[in-house]
Structure 1
Amino acid sequence: MTSDYGTTLDQDFSPTQEKQTLSLNSLIALVVGSMVGAGIFTLPAAFGRATGIMGALIAWVIAGVGMLMLAFVFQFLAERKPDLDSGVFAYAKAGFGNYLGFLAALAFWTSTCVGNVSYFVLIKSTLGEFFPVFGDGNTIQAVIVASVILWTFHFMILRGIKQATGLNTIVTIAKIVPIVIFILILLFNFNPEVFAANWSAGQGYEESLLGQVRNTMLVTVFVFIGIEGASVYSRYAERRADVGAATILGFVGVLCLLVLVTVLPYAILPRADIAALRNPSMAGALEVIVGRWGNIFISIGLLISVLGAYLAWSLFAAEVPFMAAKARLMPNFLNHENGQKVPSRSLWLTNIVVQSFLLVTLFAQQAFELALELTSALALIPYLLVAAFGLKLAWNGETYERNSRNRTRELVIAAIATAYSVLMLYAGGLDKLLLSGLILAPGTILFFMARREQSLNIFKSWEWFFFTIIAIAALSAIYGLSTGLIAI
């Protein structure tokens, strides 16, 4: 699994391979590697546009508690339902039926596709600092170059080039070293007076504290995607207890990095100046202190990190429809591997969708922000269903018949994770939910095809209700886009 999006180790630990074991340190590295990705490089401006220091700290507390509870849900579900190992959508299918299982798979897959688009936009925006023709990553030239990169990687993967030797090591160094140096330099140049002036967002910023916190919520979701990394590989742990310890230790370490990267720029620049930094805003913030070389240093680290992570994430994105087809939630034509054991048809479908989203960025004023928020909104749908499944198990007592010792604890954890997921969807705004409907409604065609192949009724009676809601959301999104009520 990956975060916003970090590197993935899925290819290294396939269930078809000889069983391997992971130490506590390896599991911690898995959590950190899963969570630290491209998004951390954009945090200063993302928070600067939304809030001051107080709002940022409140947002991280809420996100930290909520995402940690969600990670614990993944952990106890891995222990209580070890047979459900075909993706996050397996929990949704087991708990709420085929259509919601399909929606979890579709939402998770499309979130990876949109997330890959955010990679390209960030790459081109980074280059746009040095080559103005790329602008903020959403110019025609930027989309053309991004498309060339997309299809170059596509044909590399089809030939079986999954991970270059040492890729994960290079990517990890490229991410962590610039981040640590950035933090150390900002700590050394900490200005208490500027920091104090930014405590409540600065003079003239009229957004309420609640509004400030709400405006940061989808950003925090984006950087936390992948927290379930250790739980996903729990069956490989040398000791089962190491999974929980790795999740907590890795999570706390990454949370500290995220908070420091978010808060320290408030000690060198006024909030409004931080908000005006172009992405990757960490590069611009460092340039203020050390000069041009700081921008170049961060930019090079980000480009290596993003390109390396994109190769791994492309593989994972293609795995989702492939595994969903195996679970009979998507059409059987996607359940196909070529001679190099690559899910080729799923890869083609994935990259066609990514290409389509790339074209949409031509019409988006804030392409990276749109991709970030839409990725988060889509990812929250399967997360919500996973949390709700954990809540359902604990509430009904299923799997607790022989040992009910942890039932109350896990009931509380699942309830908090469910409430957090609902809160994040609300905080993201109605427009992101409607845009999600615009993706999920036509995507349901894949479910229609799968059900017809199996000569089954498309929906059960109560599933029609969910499809109707999604269709209404899609139609509302079309109306909103056509009238200007929804802006992209």
Structure 2
Amino acid sequence: MSTSKIGLLSLTALVFSSMVGSGVFSLPQNMAFVANGEALLMAWLITGVGILFLAFAFLYLTRQRPDLDGGIYNYAREGFGELIGFCSAWGYWLCTTIGIVGYVVIAFSAVGMFTDRPDHVYFGEGNTLYALIGSSIFVWMVHWLVSQGIKEASLVNLMATIAKIIPIVIFIFFTFIAFKLELFKQNYFDFSLQMPVWEQVRNLMLITLWVFTGIEGAVVLSSRAKKRNDIGRATILGVLLALSFYVLVTVLSYGVANRAELADMHNPSMATILEQLIGLPGTIIITLGLIISVCSSYLSWTLFATEIPFLAAKNKAFPQFFLKTNRNNVPIASLWLTSIVVQISLIAVCFFDKNYMQLLLISSVMILLPYFLVSAFYLKESLRNKRSKHIWIALIAVLYASWLLYAAGISLLLLSGCLYLVGLFIFFYSRYTNKRESYHKS
């Protein structure tokens, strides 16, 4: 029976791995397409401050409220009631479960770069029959791995995280050597986009909006941590490491190629840049790194998706069958539900690709509400305890979380609201069945 707890290193790897998936490998092109060097530095400064203060909210809440495990759900429930707590858990689980499908699709799309030929496409964009078969095998292999124990799965994720850091470090090393300050200055003062700097910054922050999702990883698995203080430390360390890599990858890229050239590159643009610097091995290194990266991110998010319904069921917000665990102390009902939903989504990708991608975008917005609720709960706790330092930290975290909601756009927020309404049926069903069971017992 697996009852081992997760240490600081594995917790940090979970936070880092959940944030750094496929996005980092396309950041140079994505950012160069919408902004010059000046806007790039300003956007990273604002994002860096905002995300660090959101991380501080998680850090201090784990210390102020050690009685609350799995923060994303319990912080919202404690601060704003059962219904809001449920909405936080439901939105987070739905975003996590539907969102991780994208990792599997990207992984097999990357495999296709090695196997596909003009006359015969095997994996394509990750939406072919071959990709469906391969991704389905992968999903159930991860299902089996997680069922063997959370600790064991986190150790595998740690090894995969180390493996995916290596290609990023190689990229940073060679772009640092090739970096030309004059070229960076040219990109810094590039006015060819013909739009105000503030608008470029806003467009960049719409990109950075998504690259830090996963910051809550250590908090979600807080009940599995060896030491309570490791939860907050892992969050801060994971964010600092991810932020450092993101900044270095993008800033150094602006010093090795013209902004317009970067903007026209095919993704993953890191592969194109490194190939220009060291030849074909550059493409191979980055592509392999991309495959390892998205696979480890899938594992991280599967752990989170498995934990949240279990925690919600403890407080009777989710049906009680989610409390079921196997001999390795893994919430097996949650794991089965997550794997089945992922499998159905993969089938949707294969046969209804356009419709699924819209659903993926809508569900991704749902994670922003839990972030806002965490920072709002931190502000509420700080005001209640009259701690001025924490009030200021919480205010900045709330402002940043509010910005994330604003940047997502009203249309996506309204559409995600429809998915929240679907979840209300589960909430009221759970409340009804729990009351009925309590009545029969009495």
Is this a same-fold pair by TM over 0.5? yes
Aligned partner of 1:6 in structure 2 is none
**Contact 1:215–1:427, Cα closer than 8 Å, also in 2:** no
Asked if 1 retains the 8 angstrom alpha-carbon contact of 2:109 and 2:125, the reply is yes
Trace 1:419-434 onto structure 2 (pairs within 5 A).
419-434=399-414
Aligned length: 428
Q: What's the CA shift for 1:294?
A: 0.6
Task: Give 3-state SS (helix, strand or coil) of 1:99's partner.
Answer: helix
Asked if the contact 1:104/1:381 (under 8 Å) is kept, the reply is yes
Percent identity of equivalent pairs: 44
After superposition, the Cα gap between the structure-2 partners of 1:102 and 1:218, relative to the gap in structure 1 and judged at 3 Å, is farther
Matched, 1:390 2:370: no
Q: Find 1:330's aligned residue among 315, 318, 339.
A: 318
Change (3 A) 1:48 1:135: farther
Structure 1 residues not aligned, in runs of 5+: 1-9, 15-19, 457-488
Q: CA deviation at 1:73?
A: 1.3
Amino acid at match of 1:289: L
* Aligned with residue 269 of structure 2, among 281, 288, 294: 281
Residue 137 of structure 2: aligned partner: 148
| Residue aligning to 1:90 | 74
Q: Does the aligned pair in 2 maintain the 1:237–1:243 contact within 8 Å?
A: no
**Match in the other structure for 1:410:** 390
Matched, 1:13 2:5: yes
Task: Report whether the alignment pairs 1:172 with 2:164.
Answer: no
2:115 counterpart (115, 127, 131): 131
SS in 2 for 1:113: helix
Structure 1 residues 375 and 261 mapped into 2: Cα distance closer, same or farther (>3 Å)? farther
User: Residues 353, 273 of structure 1: CA spacing in aligned structure 2 closer, same or farther, 3 A cutoff?
Assistant: farther
Q: 2:367 is aligned with what amino acid? A: A
Matched with 2:440 is none
Q: Which has the higher contact order (CA 8 A, sep 6+)?
A: 2
Question: Which residue identity is paired with 1:92?
Answer: A
Where does residue 50 of structure 1 map in the other structure?
A: 34
Q: 1:121 is matched with which residue? A: 105
Conserved 8 A contact 1:122-1:279: no
Task: Give 3-state SS (helix, strand or coil) of 2:188's partner.
Answer: coil
* CA contact 1:106–1:443 (8 Å) conserved in 2: yes
Counterparts of 2:109 and 2:30, CA distance in 1: 15
CA RMSD after TM alignment: 3.4
Cα distance, 1:179–1:391 mapped onto 2, change above 3 Å: same
**Partners of 1:277 and 1:364 in 2: how far apart?**
24
* Pairwise CA distance, 1:82: 1.5
Whether the 8 Å contact between 1:321 and 1:334 is mirrored in structure 2 is: yes
Whether the aligned pair in 2 keeps the contact of 1:34 and 1:229 (CA below 8 Å) is: yes
The equivalences for 1:288-437 within 5 A come to: 288-361=276-349, 363=352, 371=360, 374=362, 376-395=364-383, 397=384, 400=385, 404=386, 407-437=387-417
Q: TM-score, normalised by structure 1?
A: 0.77
Distance 1:113 1:434 in 2: 20
Contact 2:146 / 2:153 at 8 angstroms: preserved in 1?
no
Counterpart Cα distance in 2 of 1:282 and 1:369: 26
Q: Counterparts of 2:235 and 2:366 in 1: how far apart (Å)?
A: 23
Alignment CA distance shift 1:199-1:374 (3 Å): farther
Are residues 216 and 376 of structure 1, via their aligned partners in 2, closer, same or farther at CA, if it must alter by over 3 Å?
A: farther
Q: 1:190 corresponds to which residue?
A: 179
Cα deviation, residue 130, structure 1: 2.7
Q: Equivalents in 2 of 1:59, 1:225: separation in Å?
A: 17
Q: Distance in 2 between matches of 1:201 and 1:99?
A: 49
Q: Secondary structure at the match of 1:85?
A: coil
What residue is the counterpart of 2:250 in the other structure?
Answer: 262
1:139 to partner: Cα distance: 4.4
State the Cα deviation string for residues 299-357 of structure 1 (Å, max 9, x = none): 11232233244234323311111211112111112221234433222122212322343
Alpha carbons 2:69, 2:223 under 8 Å: kept: no
- 1:114 offset after TM fit, Å? 3.0
CA–CA separation in structure 2 for the residues paired with 1:164 and 1:379 = 23
Whether the 8 Å CA contact 1:217–1:428 is kept in 2: the answer is: no
Contact 2:68–2:74 (Cα < 8 Å) also in 1: yes
Counterpart AA for 1:120: V
Partner of 1:455: 435
Single out whichever of 190-199 and 261-270 deviates more from structure 2: 190-199
Q: Match of 1:74?
A: 58
Offset at residue 85 of structure 1 (A): 1.1
1:150-179 Cα distance to aligned partner (Å, 9 max, x none)? 234334544669736962443132122111
Map 1:196-207; keep pairs closer than 5 Å: 196-199=185-188, 203=192, 205-207=193-195
CA-to-partner distance for each residue in 1:10-57, whole Å, 9 max, x for gaps? 98526xxxxx7x5xx888667656644443223222223332222222
1:253–1:115 Cα change, 3 Å: same
Structure 1 CA distance, aligned partners of 2:227 and 2:376? 29
2:426 counterpart (446, 456, 465): 446
Q: Is the partner of 1:137 in helix, strand or coil?
A: coil
Provide Cα deviations, 1:265-303, integer angstroms capped at 9, x if missing partner. 222233343334344332222112211111101111232
Aligned to 2:435, the other structure's residue is in SS state coil
Match of 1:100 in 2: 84
> Residue 113 of structure 1 contacts residue 317 of structure 1 at CA under 8 Å; is this kept in 2?
yes
Q: Determine the C-alpha separation between the residues in 2 that align with 1:281 and 1:369.
A: 24
- What is the SS of the residue equivalent to 1:454? helix
Query: Comparing 172-181 with 127-136, which one deviates more in the overlay?
Result: 127-136
Q: How many angstroms apart in 1 are the aligned matches of 2:86 and 2:153? A: 33
Alpha-carbon contact 1:31-1:228 (below 8 Å) kept? yes
Describe how 1:36-47 pairs up with structure 2 within 5 A: 36-47=20-31
Are the equivalent residues in 2 in contact too, given 1:123–1:306 (CA < 8 A)?
Answer: yes
